[in-house]
Structure 1
């Protein structure tokens, strides 16, 4: 092997011009460059590496990459194994991205090398500069266009103080670890939007159904009562038209707002500050009622509603409506204390709104002309974005008029995220922008960011981070008690005529971030105004998982038909037609040929004589063949019928077919009659060699049909007796076929006392019908399905076994996939095994975190 040849070159038997502690970068550059040459065979490449430097195992190039890094990246398995056997460092990280050899092996798809590294002790917990472990590179299915069209399906994770049951976990216990909401998980509800409040929360699912949870005092939940709810509950909305959907939800400490796609706004909760905007609402509303004033004003095109503690906002691309208590954020004189009904916010002419944000003290409007309109302290001013860049979002914090003049942290701040993923913080007291930088973590793209009380909550390419911002440096004169005497005080700032002045400070603000390792493939994030409750929507673990396709098995009794004769021990009726005999089974004939059933019931003996003029044995053979096998006759069969009729028969095939049809209709074999009629009506007449059976399928047979024909008894556990039809058991299972055709040919009782009746009944019913959907609708538990596979394995019931494997896969979760895989390996369940492996590959990071929660 290449490994044996490579291993002969060691520092002990070769004279180097450097030492074992060599750190000469040029040596490493030669080694890493050589490893990229795919045309060189392993033994020659190994010899070159070993001769280049005495420290060939650990020396790193100018990008911090060792020979182990490169061998793992380019799938040089033999080289990698040789280096590891020489004692190479396995968990070193490069300078380029902080990646270990395991990171690189998985990223470049070198699975054999990744397995080798893990076997030699590589750490899967090591994080790169993006705080990602190696296993998070295993599968990012959303990066592939083939999955772009898949419908989104989200799981919700929540954590926080949970003081008022606002997380919906069923209790008020705080948690620092993201956990799923059991109510939504068990009901398989996919959440689309979340509004977290300090006292209650709202959830909107993909179907547009609203759920509420938390402290219900004042009617915040909108469910008609003021009781608190520990778990989410559906809330009815008085929609005005069929198909109207909720598109936006918002919750404050005191009230809730909803917006539908018809621009209808609904409100409920406390109305102490007139924040509901509903006429005759009183002090509170316990059910959602529409804000009629907006409809009276012919408002249309609303895109969002914002609920704040003392006021509410609704806006479209052209206008903004605001109502509640005025703290200077409404763009009107501060002497106007209350606006009880929606009022349009005054905007500059020709303003096109991109988005609106606000808190209790200020309202910020970002326009499509890239201007920032700030409504604060009863005035409006325009701010130009930093470097005139377009913005993704703005967060509004602070602005308490009573405290902000004192130079405290309550002064107004605007956190701005640009389209180039740069964060700036605008500070009211200094009138400057401060650029924010992350410490020790590299984030190239920011999808969403929240900023509250010098803390940030960030969504970046499926990862979620939480961190703390450094305090904004404030000049010492601004911290003096008498700021009004200084010309740069806040009072002079807002009276300055140069309100468009924006400066970028030379000082930067550092943000210390920490990633939530237990969150994977996140699509949206939410938090409350106090920054104490958090929620994440992440892609469902089943989004990219597709159940394997079961091979369709034809529903027929072909094997039974081919093996039956008048001397076997299974048949219970013999037909005599045209001096020929045909063995058959009453149950199948009764179910599929009602006309023959009527004739059979008139006979007491098992020998039935069918003497009908012009009916030949060949005709009956073809009908019997169809009854058992669903096989339609073709033109060759018509020729055989013509031959059996003799010289006086019709000469045209169509006439022979019509004659045959008379007896088919007499025996009421309806599907076959329909098939023949469809071709008799065509001109020219013909019968296809291979007919389309999809239009003429027989209905399935069921165990409960024709109980008077039961001819065998199955004794199960607890001495429970299940009667059955011998022909079905023989047709479906080789176990019963051997039993009744050999040893127990004359027996009518089967002793299976080791099998409980709750398992035997479904087995017998499935043998009759092979009805997968009926079996699925029984909603059997996982334990039941596991035991059923064991019994199927005992009796070689392959078709039912595969169905059980599929149903188990349908119940797969992050916590259970390992257990399912163990079972599949023990009982050789190929479908279950492959499904589990695919599921684990698609969710490996989550499976790893579930198996190692402390890590």
Structure 2
């Protein structure tokens, strides 16, 4: 790499540098990119070009995950930075170019998944817009129901009263293979209609509103068994009663009949089971729809509308002159009885009823009147109503004066536009979204406080009305354009024909087809297509599917139970269960048993049971497959873990067909929660079919998988395979390629070594500035600290050496901040042996007392000198645990320590210090001090040898023997016990602690750049623990 420094400063904003960085990122390898960025510019990590793109944006676009991770861990890099062109973040770019591994790396570093660009699109929106064109969600798809809310009355169907803040799957239905067609939520109960025409209910059963024949509370949806013989097509419900419409036009009701809203004659107080509504005026006519309010019920045919219940003005006709408050049997609304009227939709709330004809006319039944509120509203898809006022004089016990709410009508047309009506003085208005982009709806739901919307892309939104007085203050907000539906609406002023609705996107909803809410807006339900819907299956060519029928016939199968007297081998599982088998069948069907039982292995001739390392249930599957070539237990099992265990055993035994059977069984049980785990599992055991199925499943549901953060279990290699599969599944990815910038700087000379670490220049300068600041603080603290006085005639104690800082400093180097007691103690104890040897020389050969030594003493001195000289060797191996000294040597060292001069001792305790200050008690500083001490040992060895050679008393001292000090036997025994204790401590040291020490050593080597450093040689090793007894092996 070039050794030239960059020609910029820390505040560099050079566009040329930014262009060079963009060019290198697009065409260089990861090592070249890192080397270039660390040497080209001080602001290489944050520099932006004219389009606002930085190195992070380009690394995510090009799929350079190593560079992306390196930049993400760099200080000062904004992971959520947007470019100027489209407002995209690095996450947007990673998703757009199909690099899922890069996008997932950004998510793990804390990038917000919901950040929007200039068009109001988040990264999840980009994923949903990249779906294949054939992926279109419909109401006819297999759907699952997701519910959430306060769940006070057990209406969500999760089996508990716990509230749910996000949509969660009602797992009873997918476990049973049931798909839901319609959901109705009320205050005290919920009704679920399946695609097979069955009805399930849950909640409080008081009054028989659940239809189970009792009044018990159901925590989870329960089948209404009385309707099993009928094919139900529609359900409706209110607070206290439920309606069911069958395909043949029959209507069944059940629940409380307080206001005679059930339409059953004679009127009972309640119905615990469904009862059919029968009336003379309904004979010969087919009911095509039902609706329910708290006080009334609505039935309609193509030609007429019929209402039942309490007449508070919402039934569509005047009050009874005879004072009858309730209509006990279906009665036709005469105001809508015309030959030109054909009913299309009818909906009801507690206080109003709305009818829509095929000609686009909308009628409102309220206040004992039938009002036409809109016309020419063609192609309507769904109509809803909420609110309304009832005449409280009809039933003062249940109705209040001025009770109720303002009527609100919401309509959806086939084009995805939404219209609303709120006041009798205004026409039907089109809704205008306060959102970052235009959206088109496919389903709507309405309650007293807010609305719920489903888009054609499968997203879900919550909508709230915007106060009209605040419209003038929010003109700057981004809103969608209005598309007028008719000439009547276009004649009005734009400010008068629109209702502004603020949208809020719901999380964890990506395949929605329908939505429902209770009247109070406390509980919600969404129908979403099954995640396996639209998976790549049968190819349709030219509108035809060619199917080849397989000839019927049974394969020859063996029965393990037959001819049991011919069983000549017994298999035994690890849980002790035995299986008698036929050796000839096992050898013929499986190479594993052929090698075991046909050759000269001990298992071929032994009479005892063959112990197999498998549980009994798995061994039973293996034997069933060997005899029948089928695995019925695998196909019928709902336990994915059990099937995976069978697959592992089949892979071990090289049973490829059984392995494929397991793969197919697991594929049928793929869910959003286990897809990532099964993908990693398939990659581990080389299950190609399962892996391909998991990849297709995850690619199709990528938005949901990313939002659930379910990719944590995937390894880097599997994430790379997922990225490749995602790009192959989207045809537009062929055109989404970042063209390398060839006019950039030459990077061919950049060939970094493997394992080389890179640090930005800006970070190096910041680190240097921090060190200088700490050094200045240490100098100021050392100047303020008072000096100590010591007696020149006395010696130094060990406690004084530990607690007192060094009194001498090198010229031009600041004082070191005092370290902790334990830190200096370890450093001084490491020097004890060498210091004692030098003190012995000075005390023994002083002119005042010339010593007399024998030959043995001289040899011991030379041996100590050799040990002293071997200490500073840097390339030597790890220091052994404590060199053992003789009793005579320790006695001489102790005598020398008493007679040594204090000046020499003060020189000995001056330890070389690192300019980097550390906190007291930092263990890494202890290791650093021990490393630095080695250089001091080298200087001390030279001093020892030079002083020893210049001593004039050496020749005379060799002539006189030294007096030996007697050592007691108790001291020897005590020393042996200490060494044995040290050996036991080292032997019983936990492996986890040893691994932590090894990891600490490696971290220190990386921190001080000891690997491949040509300037200095750094060694990190454990400090010696003192003398240790030699280990002995005792034979028992």
TM-score where L is the length of structure 1: 0.66
1:834 maps onto 2:685 in alignment: no
- Superposed, which structure 2 residues align to 1:21-100 within 5 Å? 91-93=80-82, 99-100=88-89
- In 2: Cα distance, 1:742 partner to 1:830 partner: 33
Structure 1 position 148, deviation (Å): 7.8
Give the direction of change, closer, same or farther, for the CA distance of 1:409–1:101 in structure 2 (3 Å limit).
farther
Structure 1 position 193, deviation (Å): 0.8
Deviates more, 1:704-713 or 1:74-83: 74-83
- In 1: Cα distance, 2:85 partner to 2:497 partner: 27
In the alignment, which residue of structure 2 is the partner of 1:590? none
SS of 1:448 mapped into structure 2: strand
1:770 maps onto 2:766 in alignment: no
Q: Is the 8 A contact 1:523 1:539 kept in 2?
A: yes
- In 2: Cα distance, 1:296 partner to 1:393 partner: 25
- Superposed, which structure 2 residues align to 1:354-753 within 5 Å? 354-384=344-374, 391-401=380-390, 410-417=405-412, 421-428=416-423, 430-431=425-426, 436-460=431-455, 461-471=457-467, 506=496, 509-545=499-535, 698-717=555-574, 720-744=577-601, 746-747=605-606, 749=608, 751-752=610-611
1:321 maps to which of 283, 306, 318: 306
Q: Is the 8 A contact 1:809 1:835 kept in 2?
A: yes
Q: Is the 8 A contact 1:547 1:810 kept in 2?
A: no
Q: Is the 8 A contact 2:143 2:530 kept in 1?
A: yes
- In 2: Cα distance, 1:548 partner to 1:760 partner: 35
Residues paired across the two proteins, number: 658
- In 1: Cα distance, 2:382 partner to 2:409 partner: 10
SS of 1:218 mapped into structure 2: helix
1:759 maps to which of 618, 631, 650: 618
- Superposed, which structure 2 residues align to 1:85-164 within 5 Å? 91-93=80-82, 99-107=88-96, 109=98, 123-127=112-116, 133-135=122-124, 137-138=126-127, 143-145=132-134, 152-164=141-153
1:286 maps onto 2:272 in alignment: yes
- In 2: Cα distance, 1:390 partner to 1:172 partner: 41
2:176 maps to which of 168, 173, 187: 187
Q: Is the 8 A contact 2:350 2:386 kept in 1?
A: no
Structure 1 position 800, deviation (Å): 2.6
Q: Which runs of 5+ in 1 are unaligned?
A: 475-500, 550-691
- In 2: Cα distance, 1:454 partner to 1:718 partner: 61
1:218 maps to which of 196, 207, 218: 207
Give the direction of change, closer, same or farther, for the CA distance of 1:70–1:399 in structure 2 (3 Å limit).
farther
1:265 maps onto 2:124 in alignment: no
Q: Is the 8 A contact 1:389 1:419 kept in 2?
A: no
1:340 maps onto 2:318 in alignment: no
Give the direction of change, closer, same or farther, for the CA distance of 1:60–1:537 in structure 2 (3 Å limit).
farther
Give the direction of change, closer, same or farther, for the CA distance of 1:424–1:755 in structure 2 (3 Å limit).
closer
Q: Which runs of 5+ in 2 are unaligned?
A: 393-398, 471-490, 540-548, 712-1036
1:168 maps onto 2:157 in alignment: yes
SS of 1:169 mapped into structure 2: coil
SS of 2:677 mapped into structure 1: helix
Structure 1 position 235, deviation (Å): 0.8
Structure 1 position 259, deviation (Å): 0.9
- In 2: Cα distance, 1:140 partner to 1:783 partner: 35
- In 1: Cα distance, 2:525 partner to 2:638 partner: 33
User: Could you list the per-position Cα deviations for residues 496-538 of structure 1 after superposition, in whole angstroms to 9, with x for gaps in the alignment?
Assistant: xxxxx99875486543332221222111101111211211111
Give the direction of change, closer, same or farther, for the CA distance of 1:221–1:467 in structure 2 (3 Å limit).
same
User: Could you list the per-position Cα deviations for residues 64-87 of structure 1 after superposition, in whole angstroms to 9, with x for gaps in the alignment?
Assistant: 888987997799999999999999
In the alignment, which residue of structure 2 is the partner of 1:680? none
Give the direction of change, closer, same or farther, for the CA distance of 1:146–1:328 in structure 2 (3 Å limit).
closer
- In 2: Cα distance, 1:426 partner to 1:718 partner: 71
- In 2: Cα distance, 1:531 partner to 1:150 partner: 23
Structure 1 position 374, deviation (Å): 2.0
Structure having the higher Rg: 2
SS of 2:441 mapped into structure 1: coil
In the alignment, which residue of structure 1 is the partner of 2:955? none
SS of 1:760 mapped into structure 2: helix
Give the direction of change, closer, same or farther, for the CA distance of 1:94–1:154 in structure 2 (3 Å limit).
farther
1:795 maps to which of 649, 653, 662: 653
Q: Is the 8 A contact 2:61 2:99 kept in 1?
A: yes
Q: Is the 8 A contact 2:259 2:309 kept in 1?
A: yes
In the alignment, which residue of structure 1 is the partner of 2:238? 252
- In 2: Cα distance, 1:716 partner to 1:79 partner: 51
Give the direction of change, closer, same or farther, for the CA distance of 1:721–1:547 in structure 2 (3 Å limit).
farther
- In 2: Cα distance, 1:402 partner to 1:55 partner: 74
Give the direction of change, closer, same or farther, for the CA distance of 1:99–1:312 in structure 2 (3 Å limit).
farther
In the alignment, which residue of structure 1 is the partner of 2:783? none
Structure 1 position 826, deviation (Å): 3.9
Give the direction of change, closer, same or farther, for the CA distance of 1:70–1:260 in structure 2 (3 Å limit).
farther
User: Could you list the per-position Cα deviations for residues 124-181 of structure 1 after superposition, in whole angstroms to 9, with x for gaps in the alignment?
Assistant: 4534578765246446797533778997211111112222222222222332222222
Larger RCO (alpha carbons 8 Å, 6+ apart): 2
In the alignment, which residue of structure 2 is the partner of 1:824? 682
Q: Is the 8 A contact 2:257 2:269 kept in 1?
A: yes
RMSD: 4.8
Give the direction of change, closer, same or farther, for the CA distance of 1:720–1:313 in structure 2 (3 Å limit).
closer
2:642 maps to which of 774, 784, 809: 784
User: Could you list the per-position Cα deviations for residues 96-118 of structure 1 after superposition, in whole angstroms to 9, with x for gaps in the alignment?
Assistant: 87643433543454668757877
Give the direction of change, closer, same or farther, for the CA distance of 1:803–1:389 in structure 2 (3 Å limit).
closer
User: Could you list the per-position Cα deviations for residues 441-462 of structure 1 after superposition, in whole angstroms to 9, with x for gaps in the alignment?
Assistant: 4342012222322411111131
Structure 1 position 247, deviation (Å): 1.0
In the alignment, which residue of structure 1 is the partner of 2:218? 229
Deviates more, 1:702-711 or 1:76-85: 76-85
2:315 maps to which of 308, 323, 330: 330
1:807 maps onto 2:665 in alignment: yes
Give the direction of change, closer, same or farther, for the CA distance of 1:65–1:413 in structure 2 (3 Å limit).
farther
Structure 1 position 257, deviation (Å): 0.6
Q: Is the 8 A contact 2:356 2:363 kept in 1?
A: yes
User: Could you list the per-position Cα deviations for residues 606-633 of structure 1 after superposition, in whole angstroms to 9, with x for gaps in the alignment?
Assistant: xxxxxxxxxxxxxxxxxxxxxxxxxxxx
In the alignment, which residue of structure 2 is the partner of 1:596? none
Give the direction of change, closer, same or farther, for the CA distance of 1:831–1:270 in structure 2 (3 Å limit).
same
Structure 1 position 265, deviation (Å): 1.1
SS of 2:266 mapped into structure 1: coil
TM-score where L is the length of structure 2: 0.55
